[in-house]
Structure 1
């Protein structure tokens, strides 16, 4: 029965992805009679199952790009060519209507324990819903009851960001107090609510700090408190089993609940599948590749920066992979890499990756490579994120201690085989690569500059491909990173190259007369592959685009024009976006 309910939940989630409804006045569930429902736990659970469709699908999670991964097409956010839409999925409100409907009539359940638990579920999802709205749009209308089609509140304007975020915190505190403490990798619990509060408060606190808004300290303090409680009470820890625990955590078919707090379920038996294997191995699905700037951020095992090594600028993959943070070889193909269930070495395939740094995070055995055949669960929240949130919040507040680092950062570095971070050393000599406007984050200042930069490094390599990076860039006010060159592996010139040291050539780069070669990938220089120095240098991608970022506009999305017209201008447009409307 439990397995059936789990599959039902996942199936409901899959069906919800195709929903087209976006009206706040929609009467939910085929005009369900409020007086006849929500009396039992089963009824409450069946109704609230649909709320889980609010979570991102697998492709959104592993398909993250931002400034860390390049694909054959770039997002409009990265390109800087967003336009103002008439409608937008990010401005849909139907799930809020369903959540508020449940909360209005949940009192039909006379079992107080059950009622409070499912009100906790609903308020968790209302908090999640509104957090997403604030991330996209800033100020948004707060609505906490079902609205009828003739209700004037349907046409109200925005409420302040502060007011909405305080309501979000209130909902999360209610959820924390009333959701069950038992772990459940497919249902929200007290620990999921604490993890979400940690995420919400770090985002809001750092967004306010770097965008010059008031009140950032209270949010960072709330993040610290929620994160610390999660870390000390939840029982979750960093998964360390096996010789490649980081890789194993993400390639497991079923979510590993040692560390993963909540996951989205996928299962072949009921047709819930995604395409991560195809995405990472196909030559026709985007050819994603890690960018050189991010590859450079992985430390050496002794804790020193890779960019402090002599000759790092011209190292080729076999050399740059030596003695690195273990997450490097568990995120991209490096010498020695073998596919799951395979004994043969697998080199990077430049036909399937634009940059040469071919991703392996989430990659399963080759039998899942065919179209839409992957069935691995997708993590939505995990303990490592909460630990990083805790360290960053305290660093931004100026209260971080070495003991905090030992609690929150050391377990992640231990798993990766990297020497622990030293607060004193980091602040005494901030890494110039991370502090540079060209390669790092130039807007970090103050006594804790060095350790903040190191925590950002840690977050970048630990949480890569988990649908968090774009929003990290937004809260840090670092959108100009999208304008920087997108590069990959270094090649000293034309010739044949063995990328994984197995004695077999993996790519041939030629100019002039095409050579005879056994390499599986053969590219003509200047036509099929471009190097940053012309005849040598880093693989450079997207040379045909001019990427721009408008600091005065692009940190928020434009409000769809249909909703501006519907409210006759009560919903104002975001700064810098001119939609041509006269209100």
Structure 2
């Protein structure tokens, strides 16, 4: 039971939909009048929070993000989400404005004492509940801004509670800080990738305070105070975990350590703090293999700007090379940061269980940069058959949170970089990040993307953002990163893939064999090759004259700077509760 986060309580609490889902009593086999009489009953109730509130591969609306299926400018699909086309609409209901998970947490916090369990025994379960309330509200604030704060379940007769308006995010986030600090102080310190502990709470605090601090810093239009206070809290929480926690960056050899962390069939306790756990023996799976190898899920691939962001193996900038944007696949992937070849198929790629060298399969990727992160052995390629764990919190993120918070505060030192970014680069066999050099010559390629970054630390902030995007790809961070940095305009740029000078035969891995044929007119005959017809199967920037692959070139992309940094509230809830007000310009 301890190995599985989420199957224990699936049938225990069945909540039906009604106004805000706030006045429903959780239905369970535990009688409300006799509940929480034993420690096991406390534990069972608290375990239900993991399934309902933590992300997996496909519950974005409930958990605010989904793991590995990022839909931003990191991973490109054949279709475009409404968030990318500007065709977002106000939902009638749902859309993330859901409160039943909070109702369950508050119900527990109000009632856990009724069975007479001693405070010493109940303490860690109370701390877990307050961790999840902090987690819930931090995500709601990130999504909607101001939200109603509820510290107890709302009863059916409580008209004031049911028609409560939105509290300011400053009030809500101060309450969230009280919850997460309680969790940090009272959760156990033992390592467990299946249940939250003190270190998980510190990781969450570093994450949510970094979001809030940078959001307040860059979104001056909201006139929010205390950006530095939240950034300081982020750095302090991350620093406590780095200095005192039991986790480390997992290392083996630079050519495989990063990949091994994600396609392993068991949680790596060295670095993973908390994970969604899956199991072949229990028949609990996700779908990452099928997602990356079949054409059924939009043929996902990395976007070209992300691929261009990877440094050379010696630490120099790929984008400083003359003509970098017109290099063929073999040349552009040669001698790069080893994490690139552990994230996508590059020359020499073999499956985890395979002996054959495989080029990118254009039936599985629309950009030519085919994903391999999280991909396990070929027998798991069937729909919904991937059994490997998906990390929710890991030490690598905490290192990045620490470096970014310190850089945004202006207090970053070389010693700070050495105990954060350097450890991630050491794993990949890459040179560390030099503070003085980064600030002396900021990367123009990155500066053109991140237009809000200014000041003395511009260069190192840009480099930390490079590191974050590369290290955390497919782990569900990119959307929130762009929102807090006020860089939503990047979502409206044309998505691109690999470069081809025009029709012809292409040896992608330089082994003397043609892997891909781009053609016009009638398809040629060449056994073993892949075929793409220009203008039909693939679009190039300049048509038959060549260029980078362009994805959905005829579909306009838009991001409304005056509206899209916050999500809309559903119309049904606005009608049911006249004290709720819609977000600006929705």
The verdict on a shared fold, with TM-score over 0.5 as the criterion, is: yes
Q: Does 1:133 align with 2:140?
A: yes
- Of 57, 67, 72 in structure 2, the residue corresponding to residue 61 of structure 1 is 67
- CA change 1:23–1:31 in 2 (3 A) is farther
Per-residue Cα deviation, 1:520-578 (whole angstroms, up to 9, x for no partner): 3211111111111222110110112101111010000111011111112x00000011x
1:502 — aligned with what? Answer: 511
> Distance between the aligned counterparts of 1:171 and 1:467, measured in 2?
24
Q: Is the 8 A contact 1:350 1:356 kept in 2?
A: yes
Q: Does 1:211 align with 2:222?
A: no
Q: Is the 8 A contact 1:70 1:290 kept in 2?
A: yes
Measure how far apart 1:13 and its partner are.
6.8
> Distance between the aligned counterparts of 2:422 and 2:398, measured in 1?
14
Q: Does 1:357 align with 2:364?
A: no
> Distance between the aligned counterparts of 1:281 and 1:154, measured in 2?
47
- Of 487, 492, 497 in structure 2, the residue corresponding to residue 478 of structure 1 is 487
Match runs of 1:417-428 below 5 Å: 417-428=429-440
Q: Is the 8 A contact 2:15 2:26 kept in 1?
A: no
1:567 — aligned with what? Answer: 577
2:532 counterpart SS class: strand
Q: Is the 8 A contact 2:9 2:44 kept in 1?
A: no
> Distance between the aligned counterparts of 2:10 and 2:456, measured in 1?
48
Q: Does 1:146 align with 2:143?
A: no
> Distance between the aligned counterparts of 1:18 and 1:6, measured in 2?
23
> Distance between the aligned counterparts of 2:111 and 2:191, measured in 1?
27
Per-residue Cα deviation, 1:447-470 (whole angstroms, up to 9, x for no partner): 000000000000000000001100
> Distance between the aligned counterparts of 1:153 and 1:215, measured in 2?
29
2:34 — aligned with what? Answer: 36
- Using the TM superposition, name which of 256-265 and 530-539 deviates more: 530-539
> Distance between the aligned counterparts of 1:71 and 1:467, measured in 2?
16
> Distance between the aligned counterparts of 1:16 and 1:478, measured in 2?
42
- CA change 1:377–1:176 in 2 (3 A) is same
Per-residue Cα deviation, 1:277-296 (whole angstroms, up to 9, x for no partner): 00010122210000000000
> Distance between the aligned counterparts of 1:35 and 1:300, measured in 2?
64
The TM-score normalised by the length of structure 1 is: 0.95
1:84 — aligned with what? Answer: 90
Measure how far apart 1:15 and its partner are.
6.3
1:52 — aligned with what? Answer: 50
Per-residue Cα deviation, 1:376-397 (whole angstroms, up to 9, x for no partner): 1110000010110000001000
Match runs of 1:278-317 below 5 Å: 278-317=290-329
> Distance between the aligned counterparts of 2:418 and 2:342, measured in 1?
23
1:29 counterpart SS class: coil
1:459 counterpart SS class: helix
> Distance between the aligned counterparts of 2:372 and 2:260, measured in 1?
11
- Of 408, 427, 433 in structure 2, the residue corresponding to residue 415 of structure 1 is 427
Q: Is the 8 A contact 2:488 2:561 kept in 1?
A: yes
2:541 — aligned with what? Answer: 532
Q: Does 1:332 align with 2:359?
A: no
> Distance between the aligned counterparts of 1:190 and 1:518, measured in 2?
58
Q: Is the 8 A contact 1:130 1:168 kept in 2?
A: yes
Measure how far apart 1:31 and its partner are.
8.2
- CA change 1:537–1:519 in 2 (3 A) is farther
- Of 6, 10, 13 in structure 1, the residue corresponding to residue 6 of structure 2 is 10
- Of 414, 418, 427 in structure 2, the residue corresponding to residue 402 of structure 1 is 414
Measure how far apart 1:32 and its partner are.
4.7
1:451 counterpart SS class: helix
1:194 — aligned with what? Answer: 202
> Distance between the aligned counterparts of 2:95 and 2:264, measured in 1?
31
- Using the TM superposition, name which of 493-502 and 121-130 deviates more: 493-502
Q: Does 1:72 align with 2:78?
A: yes
2:55 counterpart SS class: coil
1:580 — aligned with what? Answer: none
> Distance between the aligned counterparts of 1:16 and 1:138, measured in 2?
32
* Aligned Cα root-mean-square deviation (Å): 1.6
Q: Is the 8 A contact 1:205 1:215 kept in 2?
A: yes
- Using the TM superposition, name which of 288-297 and 21-30 deviates more: 21-30
Equivalenced residues, count: 569
- Of 465, 468, 493 in structure 1, the residue corresponding to residue 474 of structure 2 is 465
Gaps of 5+ in 2: 59-65
The TM-score normalised by the length of structure 2 is: 0.95
Q: Is the 8 A contact 1:339 1:366 kept in 2?
A: yes
Q: Is the 8 A contact 2:506 2:516 kept in 1?
A: yes
- CA change 1:432–1:465 in 2 (3 A) is same
Measure how far apart 1:311 and its partner are.
2.5
Gaps of 5+ in 1: 578-583
> Distance between the aligned counterparts of 1:306 and 1:375, measured in 2?
35
Q: Is the 8 A contact 2:15 2:100 kept in 1?
A: no
- CA change 1:319–1:496 in 2 (3 A) is same
Q: Is the 8 A contact 1:65 1:465 kept in 2?
A: no
Measure how far apart 1:25 and its partner are.
0.6
- Of 358, 378, 385 in structure 2, the residue corresponding to residue 346 of structure 1 is 358
- CA change 1:409–1:219 in 2 (3 A) is same
Q: Is the 8 A contact 1:488 1:538 kept in 2?
A: yes
1:238 — aligned with what? Answer: 249
Q: Is the 8 A contact 1:11 1:272 kept in 2?
A: no
Measure how far apart 1:29 and its partner are.
2.4
Q: Does 1:447 align with 2:456?
A: yes
2:62 — aligned with what? Answer: none
> Distance between the aligned counterparts of 2:524 and 2:30, measured in 1?
71
1:581 — aligned with what? Answer: none
> Distance between the aligned counterparts of 1:515 and 1:34, measured in 2?
72
Q: Does 1:118 align with 2:129?
A: no
1:313 counterpart SS class: helix
Q: Is the 8 A contact 2:569 2:583 kept in 1?
A: yes
Q: Is the 8 A contact 1:124 1:172 kept in 2?
A: yes
